[in-house]
Amino acid sequence: GRRVICRSRPPVPYDLLSLNIGSTPNTAGVPGASEHAIPVKPIDGFLRRFEALQTRVLARKGRAAVALVGAGAGGVELLLAAEHRLRHAVRHAGFDASGLSFVLVSDVPNILPSFPAAFRARFHSILAARGIAVVTGAPVTAVETGRLMLAGYGPLAADEILWTTQAAPARWLAKAGLPLDPRGFLKVDSMLRVIGQDDVFAAGDTIAFSDRELPKSGVYAVRAGPALADNIRRTLTGRSLRRFKPQREALYLVSTGERHAVGTRNGVVVEGAWVWRWKDWIDRRFMRKYNDLPEMKVAPAALPPLADREALKEISAIAMRCGGCGAKVGATVLTRALAGLIPAARADVVVGLDAPDDAALVDVGGEKLSLQTVDYFRAIVDDPYTLGKIAANHALGDVYAMGGEPQTALAIATVPYGLESKVEADLSAMITGANEVLREARCALVGGHSSEGAELALGFAVNGLVPAAAALRKDGLTPGDGLILTKPLGTGTLLAADMRGRAKARWVMAAIAHMIQSNGKAAEIFRRYGVHAATDVTGFGLIGHLIEMVRASNVDATLDIDRVPLLDGARETVALGIFSSLQPQNVRLRRAIRDLAAAGQHPLYPLLFDPQTSGGLLAAVPLAEAERCVAALRAAGYAGADLIGFVTERSAALEPISLDLTGQRLAEALAGLYTTRARPHALQQVADITL
Ligand SMILES: Cc1cc2nc3c(=O)[nH]c(=O)nc-3n(C[C@H](O)[C@H](O)[C@H](O)COP(=O)(O)OP(=O)(O)OC[C@H]3O[C@@H](n4cnc5c(N)ncnc54)[C@H](O)[C@@H]3O)c2cc1C
């Protein structure tokens, strides 16, 4: 069916597939191994598993027997590294490291069986010198709590068991109907094409050539990469494929865990600190290729010969326009565009454009008011399913910010011009993602409209319900309130950095996870803690949305800039000077900040203007409740939620927002030192701030 079936999302259709899923140490045939042993792969979770192991060893005051099963190069290297790290950690914690013992276990008679004898001999000496026992020719038949059962050897005590046995193929391959060798690896031809499948390629640990067995080693996987990419391009462009010719011999450098390494190639063995430095240099250079991506070059647009330099600058910047909420029209532009507009007057419009809020409130004759809101933006992620989730979540945010419950949604989608089957697949994935979020919010998708356009985009008109007395407005800020933000800031700068290839994958993945997190539970929690006002922080950034609140409430607010939660990587991308294309418009709102000369010097100051897509709620609860409210939010999964400031009486100062650069004022407010002093209201001055 040309579909990849995934565990946690709808199937992904493909025209051409490349399977590079590596291998995992085989625990399948050994009873108890998957419960009691720590496999080295999947590698992305190994560090966490090893850190948990170290914590357990320290809890035992360093008295622990550590066994590693599998004595190939990976196993030997890992055990030497573990020994070095654990002894150091145990000593550092003040315990006696002689309580630690290590043993390397292999089912075959030799450690490092595929390596030259001289190389093996060096490692026997190194292991002996480090006090690591070696048990060979003893296959593990079972793993039980605290011990390994070895054939022909009996039980071996082991408090911690690491598992690095031969590479085994993924078991699901057998169900995919693809040709496999007797061990279960994918059979490929010399063009890296799965035998008998014109549309499936594979490379790395997961493959088996029919004429030659390659070691399951990164050296070969890495070399196959360019050949694989070339053959995929050739297939798509109808050209003949090229053969991949793996090298006969490879260089192996195995670290001993003490900035020392042993290497071999063509039977020659070398050793020393310099070998380790060589290995380290190779490894870092390799990793840099994937971390320090070259800056994305934007093809200069053919610009009209305009005399107006400013206009020309703005037009050329459009090439790098952000999607998501970074694609919103700036607050100032919007205010000016809507100024003077006179909508039809209706008595049943409770909140409309005259006092704009997160959503309009309309009296439709029932016990509750109808909440109405619409959001729509260009794609910020390539995956339409994820975009669907983000867009739906973002649209629901306005209803939650108003204290309402979502009721119905209408979708509006733009899909790029393309083959019918692709358009259908994208649309289906996008709506599936959105509907999952809407269903969870008990919001019925009742209709929509779709069209073709230049770029993928999605939006929703959402209706909600709220009892009139429970509606949360932006104008409810009360002196003595604490200001709580539920999600970290930074999606604008991170997504802009991602467009330029400057954001790390884990930063972007974490930002996406936050954009997918619903504000629904947070809204419920705020209600329990006596919330006075709320808004969702989106395109105008934290300052833009806070200004809307303080203006409407005629109060001042103080923000403790160091408590503002930030997404991982946002500091770094801002330090690189990477901002959303909406940032300059948002920064115009700086006139609302007091003592700008000092505040503007703070390195995180630009993030206060960063436009958010599917951002968190900014809500005001009485300061006395604020810390308990934050604890409840964190317990409910809003890990970054924090108390970031407080509300005071409107002062005589022109600017309603001040930044607390030392954290002292918020601490004083929390300690009850803040007193509500009546100050002259300065309505005229509030109106004077040009937004
Ligand atoms: C401790 C240790 C040390 C090693 N040291 C070296 C060394 O110094 N030099 C060397 O050349 N080799 C070394 N190797 C071997 C090397 O790691 C592998 O040969 C190499 O990583 C294989 O590359 P690959 O791309 O085939 O698979 P991998 O690097 O394992 O990548 C496979 C990827 O596919 C993903 N994946 C797997 N299943 C699925 C699925 N169902 N759905 C979606 N994604 C999936 C995995 O998460 C992973 O990201 C070492 C191995 C170990 C265990």
Which atom of ligand 1 lies at the shortest distance from residue 220's CA?
Answer: 11
pLDDT at 678 over 50: no
pLDDT-based confidence at residue 396 (cuts at 50, 70, 90): very high
Please tell me the class of the 24-168 domain.
Answer: alpha beta
SS3 138: coil
Q: Which tops the pLDDT comparison, 439 or 690? A: 439
Q: What is the pLDDT of residue 431?
A: 95
For domain 475-688, give the fold: Phosphoribosyl-aminoimidazole Synthetase; Chain A, domain 2 (3.90.650)
Q: What is the pLDDT of residue 342?
A: 86
pLDDT-based confidence at residue 291 (cuts at 50, 70, 90): confident
Q: What is the C-alpha separation between 286 and 288, in angstroms, rounded?
A: 5
Cβ(689)–Cβ(554) below 8 Å: no
Which of 93-97, 267-271, 338-342, 634-638 is least confident? 338-342
Among the options 6, 322, 325, 629, which is catalytic? 325
pLDDT digits 0-9 by tens, 199-226: 999 999 999 998 888 888 898 999 999 9
Tokens of 599: 């505040």
Q: What is the C-alpha separation between 517 and 437, in angstroms, rounded?
A: 9
List of E strands, 170-265: 186-188, 200-202, 207-209, 252-255, 261-265
Q: Which of 6, 40, 43, 506 to mutate to test the pocket of ligand 1 (most atoms within 8 A of CB)?
A: 43
Q: What is the pLDDT of residue 235?
A: 96
List of E strands, 365-404: 368-378
Q: What is the pLDDT of residue 682?
A: 36
- For helices 520-528 and 384-401, angle between their N-to-C axes, nearest 10 degrees: 20
Please tell me the class of the 358-469 domain.
Answer: alpha beta
Cβ(71)–Cβ(124) below 8 Å: no
List of E strands, 468-607: 481-485, 533-536, 555-560
Tokens of 435: 């509907």
pLDDT-based confidence at residue 28 (cuts at 50, 70, 90): confident
Identify the residue whose tokens are 């060979």: 136
Which atom of ligand 1 lies at the shortest distance from residue 204's CA?
Answer: 26
pLDDT digits 0-9 by tens, 168-199: 899 899 999 999 999 999 999 999 999 999 99
Is it true that 3-23+169-236 and 475-688 share their CATH fold? Answer: no
| Distance between Cα 216 and ligand 1 center (Å) | 9
pLDDT-based confidence at residue 688 (cuts at 50, 70, 90): very low
| Distance between Cα 295 and ligand 1 center (Å) | 27
Please tell me the class of the 3-23+169-236 domain.
Answer: alpha beta
Which of 61-70, 272-281, 346-355, 647-656 is least confident? 346-355
Domain boundaries, the chain: 3-23+169-236, 24-168, 252-291, 358-469, 475-688
Closest Cα to residue 460, out of 547, 374, 571? Answer: 374
Q: What is the pLDDT of residue 549?
A: 94
Summarize the confidence of residues 359-382 as an average pLDDT: 92
Summarize the confidence of residues 337-348 as an average pLDDT: 86
Report for 307-311, 320-324, 637-641: range of highest mean pLDDT: 637-641
Strands 100-105 and 64-69: parallel
| Distance between Cα 45 and ligand 1 center (Å) | 12
pLDDT-based confidence at residue 293 (cuts at 50, 70, 90): confident
pLDDT-based confidence at residue 600 (cuts at 50, 70, 90): confident
